[in-house]
């Protein structure tokens, strides 16, 4: 038996709807109904006199049936035998709340069916009407389609089999690295899945079909056409888009719209910009389609084993697809899914964007420590990996530290692979988007923005090479006491990490206020405790702290005040040693500067205000007057 409660057996008269329907009803232990019994008398009379019914005759009958279906669906379910020859008739039948109708189409050719009708007795249908039925028939493409040229037993068996295997619970578009990983993950959780990948000559050929043949599961269907793909998915549909952020998402949505129905839900699992998500959600809601912008983190491995998922947007849409997303997500330490409805509009993608901002800063911080250890302390990559691993064992574990240690141990025949990798960082943009988003609401995003700039600076490699030849800067020896230095380095790493996270969460907090998103910081941190790129021991602490108080700034929690007080000197020391030795530490030094400014009651900004007023009469506020008052000075007098 399929998952849902309503089965409609359709096909032309004489195709065996009643016989098959009754047998199925018995099998599923639910009532059987014949749609003919719901015809108004006028229709029966017309048919028995040999006149075909027209659309006008059928409309009240179909609506009546739709009402009945609604009742049956809220009761035990039912099997209904109904010709439902045209797509628009089927649409009326399924225009009710019934979550889903199992369509079973009995498919036979004219000769076979006319022979069967001639053999029949006591039926008001005249065989001459068969031609008209075949003329009217628009064969359905959805549901279970059965060739009826076989015994009733065989037909029943085939229906049972197809019901079990042919209706997908979820659709996925885009079989790139993440799409494939997520598809395998979805299948491993027992869901029936339809996958779609476009056809691009010589580049993307039969990707979906190949994917299907590679899977052991019988529960996956592959398509390179959107219509049959959409049709193969249980209604209301949940379709996960795993296509490149940007125009591709809009193009796929446009292509899908003609085949979608009200109540369907699209989930964009790519790294889309939150403003695009807001726009798309508005657009789709106008035509009754739910849209979820879901940040998904964890890379290839996470997609396969369980990513961290940050869905935002239509709440009704989440009611529909939340179960899938939560089932495929990573688990936190208590076994709960690392997936939680983040909030309305583009909040899910906003959170993923900030995740990536923190990711950029953490990556850059680790890279800076590596660089310092490698070229100024003269450690080899394996020794540095040992140092990082030793921190990991002391409650400072993080996925990024773990993979960096792995990377540093990786050798090729003639040396370490890391030495062969060009020092030019790529980026797809999410770090920069965080910076723009922070600027938009006036927030300091110091370490994160600096990590974006560090990538940009790395990108101008040829200029750097030229400048290094011109300047020939000497690097000085920095080590007097190695063991002390390493202790400071470890403390500096933690302090900078706390500051990166503090800065990221401050942005989230402010965005929540600006956009009225009512975000739950503890829940966001919890979703980030596993599956994602910035999962770490630190994230566990952060989630617990925000649970106590959602409004406190991270470095104002007593636990972090203690750590920062004891570690900030080490961070300053490492930065100062590094800089004076000729090693650039953009994120680490920005972290110190941020902290020193953040913890200063008196900043240097009074000079900025005076300068602004001097050259532009921009006015200033005074410490000895009300803050509502603004002053201007004629500075040259
Ligand atoms: C993740 C990653 C993932 C991807 C980024 C990297 O959370 O799984 O953030 O989304 O690796 O797109 O982006 P850059 O190319 O900008 O580093």
Tell me: do 339 and 358 sit in the same domain. no
* Residue positions annotated with a catalytic role: 352, 359
> Is the beta carbon of 356 within 6 A of some atom in ligand 1?
yes
Using DSSP, state whether 443 is helix, strand or coil: coil
CA distances from 228 to 21, 26, 199, 231 (A): 25, 31, 15, 5
Domain boundary among 345, 363, 383: 345
Tell me: do 478 and 461 sit in the same domain. yes
- Supply the range of the domain harboring residue 192: 167-345
Q: How far apart are alpha carbons 241 and 187 in whole angstroms?
A: 16
> Is the beta carbon of 166 within 6 A of some atom in ligand 1?
no
Q: Quickly list DSSP for 119-159.
A: H--S-S--TTHHHHHHHH-----SSEEEE-SS-HHHHHHHH
On whether residue 293 sits in a domain, the answer given is yes
Tell me: do 204 and 317 sit in the same domain. yes
Atom of ligand 1 lying closest to residue 356 CA = 9
Give the residue carrying structure tokens 């399929």: 2
Residue nearest to atom 1 of ligand 1 (CA): 297
CA distances from 615 to 224, 612, 632 (A): 64, 6, 11
- 364: tokens are 């850059």
Cα distance between the two ends of the chain:
91
> Is the beta carbon of 297 within 6 A of some atom in ligand 1?
yes
Q: How far apart are alpha carbons 221 and 287 in whole angstroms?
A: 27
The alpha helices in 204-298, defined as continuous H runs, are 207-214, 226-231, 247-256, 274-285
Q: Which of 488, 496, 486 is nearest to 560 (CA)?
A: 496
| Mutation choice for ligand 1 from 271, 435, 530, CB with most ligand atoms inside 8 A | 271
Contact 499/591 with Cβ under 8 angstroms? Answer: yes
Tell me: do 361 and 295 sit in the same domain. no
Tell me: do 247 and 272 sit in the same domain. yes
Q: Which of 455, 460, 461, 563 is nearest to 502 (CA)?
A: 563
- Output the pLDDT for position 3: 45
In sequence order, what are the residues at sequence separation of 6 or more whose Cβ sits closer than 8 angstroms to the Cβ of residue 217? 187
What CATH number does the domain containing 272 carry? Answer: 3.40.50.720
Residues of the chain with pLDDT under 70: 1-4, 96-100, 121-127, 141-142, 164-166, 477
CA distances from 125 to 52, 60, 81, 398 (A): 10, 20, 15, 73
Q: Quickly list DSSP for 344-355.
A: STTHHHHHHHHH
**Cα 352 to averaged position of ligand 1 atoms, centre (Å):** 10
Taking only the tens place, the pLDDT of each residue in 300-348 is 999 999 999 999 999 999 999 999 999 999 999 999 999 999 999 999 9
What CATH number does the domain containing 123 carry? Answer: 3.40.50.300
- 575: tokens are 């930065």
Atom of ligand 1 lying closest to residue 363 CA = 17
| Domain count for the chain | 4
- Output the pLDDT for position 426: 96
Q: How far apart are alpha carbons 518 and 582 in whole angstroms?
A: 45
- 239: tokens are 């379709």
Residue nearest to atom 9 of ligand 1 (CA): 356
Q: How far apart are alpha carbons 243 and 239 in whole angstroms?
A: 12
Give the residue carrying structure tokens 């409609």: 8
Atom of ligand 1 lying closest to residue 302 CA = 8
Atom of ligand 1 lying closest to residue 359 CA = 9
Using DSSP, state whether 223 is helix, strand or coil: strand
> Is the beta carbon of 427 within 6 A of some atom in ligand 1?
yes
> Is the beta carbon of 299 within 6 A of some atom in ligand 1?
yes
The whole-angstrom distance between residue 400's C-alpha and the CA centroid of its chain comes to 21
On whether residue 363 sits in a domain, the answer given is yes
Q: How far apart are alpha carbons 44 and 375 in whole angstroms?
A: 92
What CATH number does the domain containing 632 carry? Answer: 1.20.5.320
Tell me: do 572 and 610 sit in the same domain. no
> Is the beta carbon of 533 within 6 A of some atom in ligand 1?
yes
Q: Which of 172, 187, 313, 342 is nearest to 243 (CA)?
A: 172
| Mutation choice for ligand 1 from 185, 356, 364, CB with most ligand atoms inside 8 A | 356
**Cα 310 to averaged position of ligand 1 atoms, centre (Å):** 14
Contact 93/82 with Cβ under 8 angstroms? Answer: yes
In sequence order, what are the residues at sequence separation of 6 or more whose Cβ sits closer than 8 angstroms to the Cβ of residue 439? 445
On whether residue 463 sits in a domain, the answer given is yes
Tell me: do 364 and 395 sit in the same domain. yes
- Output the pLDDT for position 125: 55
Contacts 24+ apart (CB under 8 A), 548-551: 550/520, 550/521, 550/522, 551/509
What CATH number does the domain containing 460 carry? Answer: 1.10.1040.10
Q: How far apart are alpha carbons 503 and 355 in whole angstroms?
A: 11
On whether residue 464 sits in a domain, the answer given is yes
On whether residue 393 sits in a domain, the answer given is yes
Residue nearest to atom 12 of ligand 1 (CA): 428
| Mutation choice for ligand 1 from 363, 430, 456, 532, CB with most ligand atoms inside 8 A | 430
**Cα 460 to averaged position of ligand 1 atoms, centre (Å):** 21
On whether residue 470 sits in a domain, the answer given is yes
Angle of helix 430-440 relative to helix 482-514, nearest 10 degrees, comes to 60
**Cα 271 to averaged position of ligand 1 atoms, centre (Å):** 8
Domain boundary among 129, 163, 197: 163
On whether residue 1 sits in a domain, the answer given is no
Tell me: do 238 and 173 sit in the same domain. yes
Tell me: do 99 and 146 sit in the same domain. yes
Angle of helix 482-514 relative to helix 558-580, nearest 10 degrees, comes to 120
Atom of ligand 1 lying closest to residue 352 CA = 7
**Cα 428 to averaged position of ligand 1 atoms, centre (Å):** 7
Tell me: do 482 and 405 sit in the same domain. yes
Atom of ligand 1 lying closest to residue 455 CA = 17
On whether residue 502 sits in a domain, the answer given is yes
**Cα 270 to averaged position of ligand 1 atoms, centre (Å):** 10
Domain boundary among 297, 320, 345: 345
Tell me: do 158 and 173 sit in the same domain. no
What's the CA dihedral at 144, 145, 148, 152 to 10 degrees? 0
Contact 243/252 with Cβ under 8 angstroms? Answer: yes
**Cα 156 to averaged position of ligand 1 atoms, centre (Å):** 50
| Segment (H or E) for 311 | strand 308-313
Tell me: do 558 and 506 sit in the same domain. yes
Taking only the tens place, the pLDDT of each residue in 338-391 is 999 999 999 999 999 999 999 999 999 999 999 999 999 999 999 999 999 999
Q: Determine the length of the chain.
A: 637
> Is the beta carbon of 295 within 6 A of some atom in ligand 1?
no
**Cα 356 to averaged position of ligand 1 atoms, centre (Å):** 6
Atom of ligand 1 lying closest to residue 298 CA = 8
> Is the beta carbon of 271 within 6 A of some atom in ligand 1?
yes
Residue nearest to atom 10 of ligand 1 (CA): 297
């Amino acid at each position: 038996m399929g998952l849902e409660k309503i089965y409609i057996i359709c096909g032309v008269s004489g195709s065996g709807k009643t016989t098959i329907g009754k047998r199925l009803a018995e099998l599923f232990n639910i009532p059987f109904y014949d749609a003919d019994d719901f015809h108004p008398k006028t229709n029966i009379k017309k048919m028995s006199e040999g006149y075909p019914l027209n659309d006008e005759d059928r409309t009240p009958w179909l609506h009546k049936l739709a009402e009945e279906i609604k009742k049956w669906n809220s009761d035990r379910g039912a099997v209904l035998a109904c010709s439902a020859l045209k797509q628009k008739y089927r649409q009326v039948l399924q225009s009710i709340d019934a979550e889903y109708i199992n369509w079973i189409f009995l498919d036979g050719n004219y000769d076979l069916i006319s022979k069967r009708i001639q053999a029949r007795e006591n039926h008001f249908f005249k065989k001459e009407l068969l031609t008209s039925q075949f003329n009217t028939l628009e064969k359905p493409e959805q549901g279970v389609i059965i060739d009826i040229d076989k015994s009733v037993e065989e037909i029943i068996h085939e229906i049972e089999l197809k019901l079990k295997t042919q209706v997908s619970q979820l659709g996925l578009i885009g079989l790139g690295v993440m799409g494939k990983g997520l598809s395998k993950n979805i299948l491993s959780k027992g869901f029936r899945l339809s996958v779609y990948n476009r056809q691009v000559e010589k580049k993307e050929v039969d990707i979906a079909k190949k994917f299907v043949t590679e899977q052991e599961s019988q529960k996956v269907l592959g398509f390179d056409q959107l219509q049959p793909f959409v049709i193969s998915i249980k209604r209301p549909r949940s379709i996960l888009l795993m296509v490149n952020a940007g125009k591709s998402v809009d193009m796929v949505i446009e292509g899908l719209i003609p085949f979608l129905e009200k109540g369907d839900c699209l989930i964009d699992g790519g790294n889309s910009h939150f403003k695009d998500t807001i726009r798309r959600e508005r657009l789709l809601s106008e035509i009754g389609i739910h849209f979820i912008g879901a940040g998904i983190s964890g890379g290839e491995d996470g997609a396969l084993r369980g990513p961290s998922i940050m869905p935002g947007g239509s709440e009704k849409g989440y009611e529909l697809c939340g179960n899938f997303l939560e089932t495929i997500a990573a688990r936190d330490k208590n076994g709960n899914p690392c997936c939680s409805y983040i909030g309305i509009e583009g909040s899910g993608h906003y959170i993923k964007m900030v995740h990536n901002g923190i990711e950029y800063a953490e990556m850059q911080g680790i890279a800076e420590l590596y660089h310092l250890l490698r070229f100024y302390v003269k450690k080899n990559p394996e020794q540095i990996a040992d140092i990082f691993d030793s921190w990991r064992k002391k409650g400072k574990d993080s996925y990024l530290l773990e993979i960096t240690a792995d990377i540093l141990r990786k050798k090729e025949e003639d040396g370490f692979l890391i030495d062969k990798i060009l020092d030019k960082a790529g980026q797809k943009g999410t770090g920069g988007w965080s910076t723009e988003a922070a600027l938009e609401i006036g927030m300091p995003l110091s370490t994160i923005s600096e990590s974006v700039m560090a990538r940009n600076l790395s990108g101008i490699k040829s200029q750097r090479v030229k400048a290094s030849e011109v300047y020939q800067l000497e690097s000085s020896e920095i080590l007097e006491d190695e063991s002390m230095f390493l202790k400071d380095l470890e403390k500096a790493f933690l302090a900078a990490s706390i500051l990166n996270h503090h800065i990221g969460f401050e942005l989230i907090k402010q965005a929540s206020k600006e956009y009225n998103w009512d975000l739950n910081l503890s829940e966001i941190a919890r979703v980030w405790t596993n599956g994602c790129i910035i999962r770490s021991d630190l994230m566990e602490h952060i989630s617990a702290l925000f649970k106590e108080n959602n409004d406190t700034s991270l470095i104002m929690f007593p636990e972090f005040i203690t750590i920062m007080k004891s570690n900030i000197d080490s961070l300053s020391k490492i930065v100062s040693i590094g800089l004076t030795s000729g090693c650039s530490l953009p994120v680490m030094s920005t972290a110190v500067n941020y902290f020193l400014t953040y913890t200063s009651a008196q900043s240097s900004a009074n000079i900025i205000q005076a300068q602004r007023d001097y050259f532009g009469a921009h006015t200033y506020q005074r410490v000895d007057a009300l803050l509502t008052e603004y002053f201007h000075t004629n500075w040259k007098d």
